[in-house]
Chain A
Amino acid sequence: MSTSATLEQAAPSRHRVRGTRPLLRLALRRDRLMIPIWVYALVAAAVGTGYSFKALYGSTAEQEQLAAGVNANSSILALVGRLHEPLSVAGLTSWRLLGLGAVLTSVMSILLVVRHTRAEEEEGRLELLAAGSVGRFAPLAAALSVMALANVTVAVLMASGLVLIGFPTIGSIAFGLGWCTVGIGFGGLAAVTAQIAGTARSANGMAMAALGAAFLLRAAGDAGTATWLSYLSPIGWAQRLRPYTDENWWPLLPLLGFAAVTMLVAVRLNDRRDLGGAMLAARPGPVDSTGLTGVRALAWRLQRAGLLGWGVAILIWGLVIGNLAGDVGKLLGSSTQLQELMAELGGPGALADSFIAATAGILGLIVAAFAVQTLLRLRAEETSGRAELLLSGSVGRIPWLLATVWPAVRGSALLLAVGGLGTGGAYALRSGDAGQIGRVLGATLVQLPAVLVVIGAGVLVLGLLPRWAAAIWGLLGVFLLLGQLGPALQLPGWAIRISPFGSLPKLPGEALAWGPVVALVLVALVLGGIGAAAFRHRDLG
């Protein structure tokens, strides 16, 4: 032991990562389903979109018109990013997908890194491994390697696919590098938050919040006059690689620098703390309960901090979006193609209304992510054995289920309202029209029935296929891709309406159609009802 300790000091780098390889194999084995699904979805989205764009935006005239419209309109710049000359189908594809894909690879990376670091530590499994011949940095190194490997796989397959459908090679490489460097950078950031936060949940939350900030900075910089804002965002850097349109390579420097710095910081922090320990120190708690009686109080107690975090993040989101909406109205949309594109993203009507409708749809998905996260707590309680302790008390299955489902519903409504008030308030200030607050609030609140369908589907999975509870995230991913890419791909209406978010009336431009709203609520109730019935009759654990 003592000899190995001195060796460790003599040659720290090698010994401290000893055991990385078996840990990496373990991680790959555990993710044998999750990584291929991510890779497939991302690559298929890119290649499929490129392929369809060849048919849809083939002529130079169409492309030019689109470009003129996009670059004159800050709302599209905000949502998607700047479109550069010279125009090509390949350029349009990367314009539409670079930012979106970079966000998605980042989400993948954050989840992967936290899953193999803080989550393992929290569950105590890492301790089991760390007692073996495993260096201090090995778990972190293995997690980062898996994450980088997944990103590189996505990039290589995606770029190859695009080359195969006839896109230029250099541009495809730039495109792939854009996706994977942003992803790896946020993976590195997640490694930092995993050192700071005491739970996987908060480590994920902190990293996702940083990703949201990067998205908003890029959006604000691209849409407004303060272009420099988007130079603060890794997503902005990636877009400045300008794939297929006279590529720049300098953004690789800050992108790789971001990844390197975050990883170094993570390693430094990891070196300083105890296994299982967090940077945020624990305080002693109360000697006895202060009104913490029953499962409803418990559920609230467990969720209130998370809800507050979500609320703050969504309020900031709303304020930024509302501000941007103020700019949209001032610009003239002369191009019919632009009108069309905006209509696809957000429905007919005034540009500002479309912008609000499009961002409300994104907010709906974000809130649905909150709802899913809340619901999946139930599964965590079950697998950890805490549910066993709880349900050995006088608690019915259904009341216990409802103690989680109801806060998910209530919290979703609350967050949609917060987002609506933030957006509406900022927009009203910019436009000087207080009446906008109500209109925008309507546009965000109308997302609730679609969120309810997601919750209903979640309850169904928890009741019928508890082991596959995490699949509900996949469903949300499908809804996201359908909503973001469906219109640009000119998918038929029924295909877009597979997503409950696609069936909603696009307020405030469109009139409020009660039909789909009522139908979605009914679907949610039926799904949830079946799930709850199954939940009552199945084994726990």
Chain B
Amino acid sequence: MNAAVEVAGLRKEFGRSVALDSLDLTVETGQTHGFLGPNGAGKSTTIRILLGLVRKTAGAATLLGRDPWRDATELHQQIAYVPGDVTLWPNLSGGEIIDLLGSLRRGIDPVRKKELIERFDLDPTKMGRAYSKGNRQKVALVAALSANTDLLILDEPTSGLDPLMEEVFREALAAEKARGRTVLLSSHILSEVEAVCDRVSIIRAGRTVETGTLAEMRHLLRTSVDATVSGDLPDLTRIAGIHDLQVEGDRLRCQVDEAGLADLLGALSAAGVRTLTCQPPSLEELFLRHYSRPEPEPVTGTAV
């Protein structure tokens, strides 16, 4: 049992609406796990269940090998959390809030706190009500990153940060990873996920639809092929793994799975290929495929 987070068949109903429907998620200790899904997919709900703020309706969830609802108080000694939408106490200063949150965990490392405040360019003497959205986010980030905890749970932590600060966050997260901390990162920013995450889980409508390393996921993707041939086009529909085939005269466009690529190229060269463009699978495509509402087939660029 060395998974920091183990969730299986998790279900959550709010009254009659179902927020989570058989969700699975495993985060190995020491890994950084990306948690992706369109708005309303259930990321925050899953995280709230893991924090014991909300009760699961059914299924299993363990955090550091314990029950997140029953053992919430002890577990939270070892967890630092950044909510997606940070609200602060209007009449407490940022510095006070960071220390207060630290006192509710296993304490904070003052050296790291000072360093992070500097790197995030945060003014800790401002009152809670005076911070902008990004600065409120920074207060919660500094409190979480400088805490002496084993597990970091971050719910879209970079929302509201400028690109420079996103970069600082990425570096800080890499440092935490190097320190051996486990991270569950819910995010929408693909480059961020790509840069820091070992594994990702994609959820949609309360269900896990894909989980694995990014390299594994790329294998699931199709290459787009655009070619013109001089001879007659063979019947390509026989080749397994060809999708969205469009033929206009001597021009052909299609999507092909990894498995069908060799067969397709063979058929094309037999037909006297004149031009050939192959587009490698992109992560965006992966996400769009999972994010867009109808089942994977047509890939449209309008989701999220």
Chain A residues with a Cβ under 8 A of chain B: 122, 198-199, 282-290, 292-295, 298, 301-302, 384-386, 388-397, 537-541
Contact = CB atoms under 8 A, between A and B. Distances in A.
10 contacts: A283-B127, A285-B127, A292-B92, A301-B92, A385-B86, A386-B87, A392-B76, A395-B76, A538-B55, A539-B54
A198 B91 CA distance: 10
Contacts of B14: 539
Contacts of B92: 285, 292, 301
Contact of B72 (A287, A386, A396): A396
B209 interface: no
Contacts of A395: 73, 76, 104
Contacts of A540: 48, 53-54
Given A285-B125, A286-B125, A396-B73, A541 B48 contact: yes
Contacts of B241: none
A381 B2 CA distance: 35
B257 interface: no
Given A288-B98, A390-B104, A541-B48, 13 more contacts: A284-B126, A285-B96, A287-B93, A288-B99, A289-B96, A289-B98, A292-B96, A295-B104, A302-B89, A384-B87, A389-B140, A392-B53, A540-B54
A388 B48 contact: yes
Contact of B93 (A284, A384, A391, A393): A284
Nearest to A305: B91
Contacts of A393: 76, 101, 103-105
B103 A289 contact: yes
Contact of A392 (B54, B79, B88): B79
Given A539-B54, A539-B55, A289 B126 contact: no
A389 B130 contact: no
Contacts of B9: none
B83 interface: yes
Contacts of B105: 393-394
Interface of B: 14, 48, 51-55, 72-74, 76-77, 79-81, 83, 85-96, 98-101, 103-106, 124-127, 129-130, 140, 153
Q: Which of B14, B83, B93, B124 has the most CB of A within 10 A?
A: B93
Nearest to B93: A285
Contacts of A390: 101, 104
A394 B73 CA distance: 5
A282 B88 contact: no
A396 B92 CA distance: 22
B49 to A, nearest CB: 9
B91 to A, nearest CB: 7
A388 B53 contact: yes
Q: Which 7 A-B pairs have the closest CB atoms?
A: A393-B104, A285-B93, A289-B99, A293-B103, A392-B81, A284-B125, A394-B76
A374 to B, nearest CB: 16
A392 B51 contact: yes
Nearest to A387: B53
B86 A288 contact: no
Nearest to B107: A293
A198 to B, nearest CB: 7
Contacts of A391: 51-53, 72, 76
B95 A289 contact: yes
Nearest to B140: A389
B96 A389 contact: no
Q: Which of A198, A289, A301, A540 has the most CB of B within 10 A?
A: A289
B86 A389 contact: yes
Contacts of A385: 83, 85-87
Q: Which of B14, B96, B130 has the most CB of A within 10 A?
A: B96
B87 A389 contact: yes
A539 B130 CA distance: 30
B125 A198 contact: no
A75 B7 CA distance: 69
Contacts of A295: 104
B51 A298 contact: no
Nearest to A390: B104
Q: Which of A122, A389, A538 has the most CB of B within 10 A?
A: A389
A537 B153 CA distance: 23
B129 A198 contact: yes
Given A286-B125, A392-B51, A386 B103 contact: no
A285 B95 contact: yes
Nearest to B78: A394
Contacts of B126: 284-285
A282 B101 contact: no
Contacts of B89: 298, 302, 386
Q: Which of A290, A386, A388 has the most CB of B within 10 A?
A: A388
A172 B187 CA distance: 64
B47 to A, nearest CB: 9
Q: Which of B80, B89, B124, B127 has the most CB of A within 10 A?
A: B89
A244 to B, nearest CB: 49
A387 B95 CA distance: 18
Nearest to A284: B125
Nearest to A295: B104
A199 B83 CA distance: 24
B57 to A, nearest CB: 10
Nearest to B14: A539
